[in-house]
């Protein structure tokens, strides 16, 4: 079993995963506590929602650009650029005198994620075959989930005992180390790819336009890419209504501490880490829709438990379900997208999907906060339950991709349908 894992994960991917783990332990130290930190700097519930709504604007400016640059200048080079921006964001976290200043950190973090995430997903796809892609995504993301095991409880403990500033200083140090390693990786990759770069399309507005037009043809053709966008849009809006409010609900309503909230995220990540590899195998053998639909069913059950809990044990049970759901959904979704989109468009595609969903769900955090204040703290959490139940049969019917159909074949067929050559 160990040898097979080594065969699935190439050496470049292992080194890359090491830097992702360092950087994202840093991110997970504060991610789940950020609503509480915003509140500690003087924001009320509606202002917390407004903060995350305004913060969601920043990724829209970078995500398509990040994916396109990933396709144009190389995965590791794009990641290096984003990492420098992310490191700058930690400085703002340390010196911010009020919650308004944290918006600058969200801009820097958005640029980092926009440049890193599409490259990360595309890089994994290129380090695997069609037959093993679900397993590679599952194994890579399973290793990556160590960040969720270590980061949240570490951030919760440090913030509770030493304060938020010390927590951000420690997280910033980890992220800086990861950034330095990524810069060296990008430099080495640039030297090794000089010959390849001669044949690679140089970044240009015309190239970006052509990539976007090709993706637009896929998205509007009524095929599987269309339904990925529709289902993800409904899901993203409904979940963004509630996600940033979860820590506030658990602390303000149920009385959980920062450490307990951190441990919940760790519990979820342990389950995800243990199950990512078998979930990837399930995706390869039974089809991506099995993992996607099964995962979302578990989220519905988990949200029901969440809403009926007032003790740590009840919330822990909900987060166990969320962890299993993430393991089922993550590799299946990534595998489905990578198979439905041609290789040369994958980086741009992941960026476009993220941007489109971010635009659709832009007002969701603020609307969720308004629902909390006007109708009660439980109301925002009912929305994702209802939306998920509506979309489940749609995903089961539409997310069926024959093994023989890769992204390049799909785009050829849909170009013919739309009248292209």
pLDDT, tens digit, for every residue of 57-115? Answer: 777 667 667 666 766 777 778 888 888 989 999 999 999 889 989 988 888 888 888 78
pLDDT at res. 412: 45
Arithmetic mean of pLDDT, 173-197: 77
Fold for the domain defined by 9-417: Growth Hormone; Chain: A; (1.20.1250)
Buried residues in 259-288 as b, exposed as e (16+ CB within 10 A): bbbbbbbbbbbbbbbebbbebbbbbbeebb
pLDDT at res. 370: 92
Q: Shortest CA distance to 24 belongs to which of 88, 112, 95?
A: 112
Look at 138-152, 153-167, 193-207, 301-315 and tell me which has the smallest mean pLDDT.
Answer: 193-207
Q: Kindly give, in sequence order, each residue whose CB lies less than 8 Å from that of residue 413, ignoring residues fewer than 6 positions away.
A: none
Residue 215 in this model has a pLDDT that exceeds 70: no
Look at 250-254, 371-375, 392-396 and tell me which has the smallest mean pLDDT.
Answer: 392-396
pLDDT at res. 414: 41
Task: Report yes or no: 91 and 165 within 8 Å, Cβ to Cβ.
Answer: no
Query: At 77, is the secondary structure helix, strand, or coil?
Result: helix
Choose from 205-214, 292-301, 327-336 the range with maximum mean pLDDT.
292-301
Q: Say what the pTM is.
A: 0.68
pLDDT, tens digit, for every residue of 280-311? Answer: 788 778 888 888 899 999 999 999 999 999 89
Residue 362 in this model has a pLDDT that exceeds 80: no
Contacts 24+ apart (CB under 8 A), 413-416: 414/217, 414/218, 414/221, 414/223, 415/217
Arithmetic mean of pLDDT, 193-204: 53
pLDDT band at 228 (very low <50, low <70, confident <90, very high): confident
Instruction: Considering only residues 308 and 142, tell me which one the structure prediction assigns the higher pLDDT.
Output: 308
Residue 196 in this model has a pLDDT that exceeds 60: no
User: Percent of the chain having pLDDT more than 90?
Assistant: 25
pLDDT band at 404 (very low <50, low <70, confident <90, very high): very low
Q: CA–CA distance from 225 to each of 64, 121, 342, 349 (Å)? A: 17, 17, 12, 10
Please, what sign has the CA dihedral across residues 246, 141, 24, 107? negative
Residue 20 in this model has a pLDDT that exceeds 50: yes
Residue 37 in this model has a pLDDT that exceeds 60: yes
Q: For the chain, what is the mean pLDDT? A: 79
pLDDT band at 19 (very low <50, low <70, confident <90, very high): confident
Could you give the dihedral angle defined by the CA atoms of residues 329, 332, 335 and 339, in that order, rounded to the nearest 10 degrees? -120
pLDDT band at 359 (very low <50, low <70, confident <90, very high): low
CA 405 to centroid of chain Cα atoms: 26
Arithmetic mean of pLDDT, 267-287: 81
pLDDT at res. 385: 92
Instruction: Considering only residues 125 and 256, tell me which one the structure prediction assigns the higher pLDDT.
Output: 256
Instruction: Considering only residues 227 and 288, tell me which one the structure prediction assigns the higher pLDDT.
Output: 288
User: Percent of the chain having pLDDT more than 70?
Assistant: 74
């Amino acid at each position: 079993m160990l040898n097979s894992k080594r065969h699935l994960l190439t050496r470049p991917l292992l080194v890359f995963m090491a830097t992702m783990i360092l950087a994202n332990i840093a991110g997970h130290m504060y991610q789940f506590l950020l609503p509480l930190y915003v509140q500690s700097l003087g924001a009320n519930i509606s202002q917390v929602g407004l903060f995350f709504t305004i913060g969601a604007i920043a990724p829209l400016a970078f995500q398509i650009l990040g994916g396109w640059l990933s396709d144009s200048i190389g995965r590791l080079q794009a990641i290096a650029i984003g990492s420098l921006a992310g490191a700058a964001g930690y400085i703002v976290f340390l010196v911010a005198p009020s919650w308004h200043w944290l918006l600058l950190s969200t801009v820097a973090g958005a640029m980092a994620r926009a440049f890193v995430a599409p490259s990360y997903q595309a890089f994994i796809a290129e380090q695997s075959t069609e037959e093993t892609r679900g397993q590679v995504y599952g194994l890579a993301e399973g290793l990556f989930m160590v960040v969720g095991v270590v980061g949240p409880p570490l951030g919760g403990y440090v913030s509770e005992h030493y304060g938020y500033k010390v927590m951000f200083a420690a997280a910033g140090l980890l992220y800086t180390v990861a950034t330095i390693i990524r810069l060296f990786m990008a430099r080495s990759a640039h030297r090794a790819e000089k010959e390849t770069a001669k044949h690679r399309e140089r970044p240009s507005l015309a190239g970006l336009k052509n990539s976007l037009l090709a993706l637009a043809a896929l998205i509007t053709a009524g095929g599987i890419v269309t339904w990925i966008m529709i289902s993800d849009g409904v899901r993203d809006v409904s979940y963004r209504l509630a996600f940033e409010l979860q820590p506030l609900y658990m602390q303000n309503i149920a009385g959980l501490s920062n450490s307990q909230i951190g441990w919940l995220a760790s519990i979820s990540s342990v389950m995800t880490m243990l199950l990512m590899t078998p979930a990837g195998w399930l995706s390869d053998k039974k089809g991506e829709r099995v993992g996607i639909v099964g995962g979302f069913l578990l989220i519905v059950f988990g949200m029901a438990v969440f809403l009926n809990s007032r003790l740590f044990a009840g919330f822990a049970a909900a987060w166990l379900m969320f962890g299993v759901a993430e393991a089922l959904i993550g590799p299946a979704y990534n595998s489905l997208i990578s198979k439905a989109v041609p290789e040369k468009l994958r980086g741009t595609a992941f960026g476009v999907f993220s941007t489109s969903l971010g635009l659709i769900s832009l007002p969701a955090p603020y609307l969720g906060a308004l629902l909390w204040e006007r109708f009660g703290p439980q109301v925002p959490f009912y929305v994702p339950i209802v939306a998920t139940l509506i979309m489940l049969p749609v995903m089961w019917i539409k997310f069926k991709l024959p093994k023989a159909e890769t992204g390049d074949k799909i785009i050829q067929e849909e170009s013919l349908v739309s009248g292209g050559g």
